[in-house]
Amino acid sequence: MAAKLTKSSPLAGAVMAPEGLTLNGTVLEPIVEKCDGCERATEVETAKYCPTYAQPSKKWAHGVCNFATHVKATVDTTGKIKVNPLKASKRAARGR
């Protein structure tokens, strides 16, 4: 059975299969809790899916998903910057 989506939806060509929602031969996984609130998430039948990335849990594995629209980027303002020790010694030798 085909998923009922509008033509303007990013998942317009998606088909619900026994494995899950399939788009262009790729099985999409439902979004994870961290994706709640993202503007990209599209609801299909009973679950929400990310049209941008097929496996949303993998995008959150190493920190914040770069596709997330509900998360603001933070800047480290502590002032602690890693300095290459070789460059530091050269600068010290030149008197800087």
> What is the per-residue pLDDT across 52-79, written as a single tens digit (0 to 9) for each?
888 888 888 888 888 788 888 776 667 6
The tens digit of pLDDT for each residue in 74-87 reads: 766 676 777 889 98
SS3 80: coil
Sequence-ordered alpha helix ranges (H) in the chain: 56-59, 85-94
To the nearest whole number, what is the mean pLDDT of the chain? 79
Mean pLDDT for 28-52 is 84
Q: Are 48 and 42 in contact (CB under 8 A)?
A: yes
Instruction: Quote the DSSP letter at residue 23.
Output: E
Q: What are phi and psi of 72, to 5 degrees?
A: -90, 140
The whole-angstrom separation of Cα 10 and Cα 49 is: 10
